[in-house]
Structure 1
Amino acid sequence: MVLRLSEKETDMEDKLSASISYLQKLGPEYINQVFESSRWIFEQDRDMAFQIFTSVNVELPRTQVTDCLNKIDPALSARHIEYLIAEKEEASPAFHDRLAELYLNMTLSARKGGDEAKQSEVYSKLLRFINTADHYLPDRLYGLLPENLYEARAVLLGRMGRHDHTLELHVYKLRDYVKAEEHCKRTYNPNTVARSIFLTLLKLYLRPTDKTAPNLLQPALDLISRHSPRLDTIETLQLLPPLVTACDVRSFLQEALRAPIFDSHVVRDIHKARNEQVARKLMLLETRRFRVTDSRICPQCHKRLGTSVIAVHAPRGEVTHYQCRDAFARALNDPTR
């Protein structure tokens, strides 16, 4: 019947339109006929053929239509589910799970076939879907993912509340520190356990669990400068390595000092860090040696040093008589000198 209708038309678009119009009027009792007759239309023009299953007058069983289209091309099946979700407000987890799985299988198929453009396109759809949809089961999809789809794994782990593992993937596998920070911003809640999410990320930077991780001090300092109000002051100071100076975390310290209650432990840790810096400078100075000969002249009084008690001046290491040290130090610090 469908072919006879199309034979009356000479223009291909008119032929297809007549057949599509006829099939759109057939109800569920003729579903097998619709499937069989739609195949040749799909061979001619997929976009036009797809209209058969988007009729506003008659709706065919959704699952059977999805199965039929999947046999023709999984991309058509995915398109049909996209239509159901967008236009028919389909909220069944079965359809949402199936769409995510179709995106995944198409991504892997394109990768296997070496089609990088197709892989990128479909993988982007998968990432967008699992980031925004609410009716699929993350743990089910996670079990289907291969190991090396790190970004998809990170999204699903976050959906399952395993935020520490999400951040590990962003930091150690993807090395995408911006997305790690964005995940923290989406997750942070001062009234739940998620209030420590920024501290978790800071620990991953400064106490790496991956031995192959690069030096992550700079991302750590950037995180501290941007999100100091969301970081526990005591724990942050305890995490910082000794070589970090007060200047490196100035904004963080200023923010902490403005807090209504500034814990004495913070003051203690600041003094400790300062003392460690001074100790390192002293140790460096103590390792330097200076040779004093009979002919060496004191730059202050211009007399020979001889066997007198001497003083060494930082930072360049000038050597003077001990009794000349104060005068020489004043001269060094004189800006007009």
Structure 2
Amino acid sequence: MAFKAFVTSHVYSKQDASKERDKFSVQCVEWFDKNLYVGTKHAAVHHLILEGSKSENPSPDQTKTRECRSRKLGSSNAVVQLRAVPHFNHLLVLWDRSITALNMFSLESVPTMKKIQQVSLFEVSKSEEGEVLMVTSSSRRKVIHIHLVRVDRWELVKEVALQQDPVALAVDGATLCVATCDRYLLCDMETGRSEELFPHHHNKQRIIVSSAGQGEFLMNGPESLGMFVTKAGTCQRPPLQWSLEVQAARVCFPYVLTLQPHMLFVYSILDQRHKQTVSQHGAKGLLSTPDGVIVFTETDIFILHPVPVAEQIQALVGEKRVQEALTLLEGVQRHQPLDSYKELQKAVTCLAGFAHFYQQDFSEAKDLFIKGDLDPREILLLYPDLRQCLSEDFQSQLHQHPKDQDLQLLWAEDTNTYTHYLNFLRDFLLAVRGTEQDLRCTAEVDCALLRLYTELRDTERLRELVSLPNECRLDYCVPVLEQQHRFFALGCLYQSHGKQMEALETWMKIVDGLDEDPSCSDVYGHIIVTLSELKDKGTVWKCADWTLQKNPEIAVRIFTRRLPRDLLETQDVLTFLEKYLVALILYLEFLINDLCSEEESHHNRLALAYVTQTLQKEEEEDLNPTIGKLQHLLWESEFYDISTVYEAVKSTALHSVKAILLGRLGKHSQALQVLVHQEQNLQAALVYCHRASRDQEPQFKQALMMDLLQIYLDSEELINNAVDLLNDNPQAFTAQTVIQLLPDSWSVQLLSRFLVRSVRTTVHQRRMVKLQKMLVQAELRRHKVAWQMQASKMKFSLGKEQACKVCQTVIAEPAFACNSHGDIVHISCSGMI
């Protein structure tokens, strides 16, 4: 679609005889609302009324002009200028070097408004106060007159002198832009000050100055440049590069229309580019109106209507002039209603995004689609293998998809490039997921992402999608995951949709080898975690047996790693785990160690389970872990039935366990007998003495050690061990008792080490007792003094020459005493020591 900024509508043509046509020759035009005023070559003013549709795309058939009135001003001389003043219903006419005021509708003269003579140019504007000002150029003097226009008169309010005659002028508020034969000037009508802008070398026909709106003027500058100058005398826009043959120029924002022989050129103010060329033979002048630009020849009048901005932008995008379209959009922002601008901005931004999309400029395309709030389904519609994600009731809102490239053909012919398009789609959908753009089509977005992740082998994101809450449709996504052998993700999808049993069954098939999915290395562990977090206890019981058959040591976590409020009934679990010894032990350990259970049945059951496991593994080399746990339980627990456990081990070879149980029954001598003679582990017997006497009085440990010594002495094979026991543990025995117990045949030399260390220990203990007694006495004395002072509640003052009342010598020490009479004395004199 070729770009057009304006469309031409022919509004009037004089069809009279040739002689009449020569008299009618158009010299100037003026416009207000539907009123068109024409000034002719032979001093006539015609009032035409435009009738017809104001559609967005007017055509000659839709625009008709009705001749209303005509007024003959004289017999000769052309009407030079027409200006309407709707505020007073005046039509100001420059004819025969004078300005006449006519009624806009009757074309009758306003009798109270006298002609202004000797005028070559004039313009009308409104001041900041809303008053209508008329600026006239004298044809005899180098001076500008400023008139205040009233309803029935005009008043000359100021004169501004110039050094040269004005050739053209334009006015904006209180600022006047004047062109002379060789330069352009800015004049302030309030102060009368003038400022030279820049010189020129144009002849009179090429000098152009017109109001550009918004406090700017447009001039034909040097070097064929269209210059924009503000009222402050500065240029805030780049100049336009136009032809040397420009005869007239008018602004119809955001464009400048320039009239050249046989052609009308349209330039953009926003980017200074040539946008359109309109053929116009014989055109004499231009007039800017709110509805467009009027172009007139001697016999015909045309209106160039602006094409709606949306159509202009769509045409630019269609020609891949994306940057121009965006520039135009930003430029017209202030001239559009906010709501329509936002909608237009979204549409244009999306169209620009499609242009970048097909050029594989994916980063820019994604940003534009997001900025334009594009419905993600419009993108999905372009991908042949993703259209099934769309719901049947979806209707595309884009009336024109710029399809430079058929993705279906690309899918078949160039898979590498098509993969880039898939990556773009994935990134775009990820960016909009969870935003307002996604709210309209959350299910379609999630289904498309699932399909993309499977095709692009993006395992991590696929797992994240299906594991978290999503809107994937199962009827579409399940077959996709099955075809791609993504069974683990399929289970996660079932789980996220509340279908726990279907999820677990899917994962169990992977573990059993019925389905293959290498994307997850520990599916069994995931099943255990899922069951441990599952609140549906019925599903847990259905799957528990399968998990325990696979690995009871791990499977027990479905019972032990649950939240406290979700724990299963303890007795049900214990009954269920009867046939899984390892799992039973781990569960009982959980009850006792983690939940601090004090139920006797739990402690009994764990001890018996340890016994059973130890007996089952007695042929294995490493029994230490289980036996160690059993011994620790028997020593530490206070809640098991000792007799019950002893009955279970008394006929076994677990002698160390029997010794502990005998000790818990108070039969320490029998326990030591078992360890020495049945277990034949003398070190274990010594350890037993230390362990059993922990937290007991020293006499208890001495009694145990004496029992062990007696057992050694009763056996001839253990005599040397008895000697070693005495020599290594002298602090545990009393020398007098040991000497009475030892055989007479033992020599002092044999026991010298024991005796020396025993005597030394005894002496040390006596000294420590004496020292402790003295420390206690000192502490008691300190407390007595404190109690006495607290009881007396008296204050004593000790002077520098204070003498003791007993020995009459000066008290030099800081410590002193007070007798019952209140006299201060030495501590030694008080009898306290």
What TM-score bracket applies, with the shorter chain setting the length? 0.5 to 0.7
1:180 counterpart residue number: 685
Offset of residue 23 of structure 1: 6.8
Q: Conserved in 1, the CA contact under 8 Å of 2:531 and 2:540?
A: no
CA distance in 2, matches of 1:121, 1:257: 42
CA distance in 2, matches of 1:2, 1:47: 23
Matched, 1:133 2:642: no
CA distance in 2, matches of 1:16, 1:2: 16
2:660 counterpart residue number: 155
Q: Conserved in 2, the CA contact under 8 Å of 1:85 and 1:91?
A: yes
1:102 counterpart residue number: 609
Q: Return closer, same or farther for 1:108/1:255 CA change in 2, 3 Å cut-off.
A: closer
Offset of residue 254 of structure 1: 2.6
Matched, 1:4 2:506: no
TM-score by length of 1: 0.64
Q: Conserved in 2, the CA contact under 8 Å of 1:151 and 1:174?
A: yes
Offset of residue 205 of structure 1: 0.8
CA distance in 1, matches of 2:672, 2:554: 45
CA distance in 2, matches of 1:117, 1:240: 41
The 10-residue stretch of structure 1 (138-147 or 97-106) with the greater mean CA deviation from structure 2: 138-147
Matched, 1:40 2:546: yes
What are the Cα deviations for residues 200-230 of structure 1, in whole angstroms up to 9, with x where unaligned? Answer: 111111124xxxxx51111111111122233
Matched to 1:4, the amino acid is E
CA distance in 1, matches of 2:588, 2:607: 10
CA distance in 1, matches of 2:751, 2:640: 43
Residues paired across the two proteins, number: 248
The percentage of aligned residue pairs carrying the same residue is 21
CA distance in 1, matches of 2:613, 2:658: 17
Q: Return closer, same or farther for 1:63/1:192 CA change in 2, 3 Å cut-off.
A: farther
Q: Conserved in 2, the CA contact under 8 Å of 1:6 and 1:18?
A: yes
Q: Conserved in 1, the CA contact under 8 Å of 2:660 and 2:671?
A: yes
CA distance in 1, matches of 2:623, 2:735: 44
Matched, 1:85 2:554: no
Offset of residue 21 of structure 1: 2.5
1:62 counterpart residue number: 570
CA distance in 1, matches of 2:623, 2:742: 42
CA distance in 2, matches of 1:80, 1:38: 14
CA distance in 1, matches of 2:721, 2:510: 63
Q: Conserved in 1, the CA contact under 8 Å of 2:727 and 2:753?
A: yes
Q: Return closer, same or farther for 1:239/1:191 CA change in 2, 3 Å cut-off.
A: closer
Matched to 2:615, the amino acid is L
CA distance in 2, matches of 1:194, 1:110: 35
1:52 counterpart residue number: 558
Q: Return closer, same or farther for 1:66/1:215 CA change in 2, 3 Å cut-off.
A: same
2:301 counterpart residue number: none
2:627 counterpart residue number: 123
Q: Return closer, same or farther for 1:2/1:240 CA change in 2, 3 Å cut-off.
A: same
Matched to 1:183, the amino acid is Y
5+ residue gaps, structure 2, are 1-498, 512-521, 764-833
SS at match of 1:75: helix
CA distance in 2, matches of 1:201, 1:129: 24
CA distance in 1, matches of 2:569, 2:635: 28
SS at match of 1:26: coil
CA distance in 1, matches of 2:755, 2:528: 74
Q: Return closer, same or farther for 1:223/1:49 CA change in 2, 3 Å cut-off.
A: closer
Matched to 2:503, the amino acid is L
Q: For the aligned residues, what is the CA RMSD? A: 2.9
1:301 counterpart residue number: none
Q: Conserved in 2, the CA contact under 8 Å of 1:100 and 1:130?
A: yes
Q: Return closer, same or farther for 1:36/1:105 CA change in 2, 3 Å cut-off.
A: same
1:255-294 equivalent positions in 2, closer than 5 A: 255-257=757-759, 259=762
Q: Conserved in 2, the CA contact under 8 Å of 1:2 and 1:22?
A: no
What are the Cα deviations for residues 278-321 of structure 1, in whole angstroms up to 9, with x where unaligned? Answer: xxxxxxxxxxxxxxxxxxxxxxxxxxxxxxxxxxxxxxxxxxxx
Q: Return closer, same or farther for 1:169/1:14 CA change in 2, 3 Å cut-off.
A: closer
1:198 to 694, 699, 705: 705
CA distance in 2, matches of 1:183, 1:22: 44
CA distance in 1, matches of 2:701, 2:532: 54
CA distance in 2, matches of 1:14, 1:248: 69
Offset of residue 165 of structure 1: 0.8
Matched, 1:224 2:726: yes
Offset of residue 136 of structure 1: 2.1
Q: Conserved in 1, the CA contact under 8 Å of 2:552 and 2:582?
A: no
The 10-residue stretch of structure 1 (170-179 or 198-207) with the greater mean CA deviation from structure 2: 170-179
What are the Cα deviations for residues 243-277 of structure 1, in whole angstroms up to 9, with x where unaligned? Answer: 322111113323455546xxxxxxxxxxxxxxxxx
Q: Return closer, same or farther for 1:194/1:248 CA change in 2, 3 Å cut-off.
A: same
2:670 counterpart residue number: 165
CA distance in 1, matches of 2:570, 2:726: 51
| Structure (1/2) with the larger strand percentage | 2
CA distance in 2, matches of 1:195, 1:60: 50
Q: Return closer, same or farther for 1:238/1:148 CA change in 2, 3 Å cut-off.
A: same
2:526 to 17, 22, 38: 17
Offset of residue 66 of structure 1: 1.5
CA distance in 2, matches of 1:222, 1:15: 57
Q: Return closer, same or farther for 1:186/1:23 CA change in 2, 3 Å cut-off.
A: closer
2:769 counterpart residue number: none
Q: Return closer, same or farther for 1:8/1:105 CA change in 2, 3 Å cut-off.
A: closer
2:772 counterpart residue number: none
5+ residue gaps, structure 1, are 209-213, 261-337
TM-score by length of 2: 0.28
Q: Return closer, same or farther for 1:248/1:131 CA change in 2, 3 Å cut-off.
A: same
Relative contact order: is structure 1 or structure 2 higher (C-alpha 8 Å, sep ≥ 6)? 1
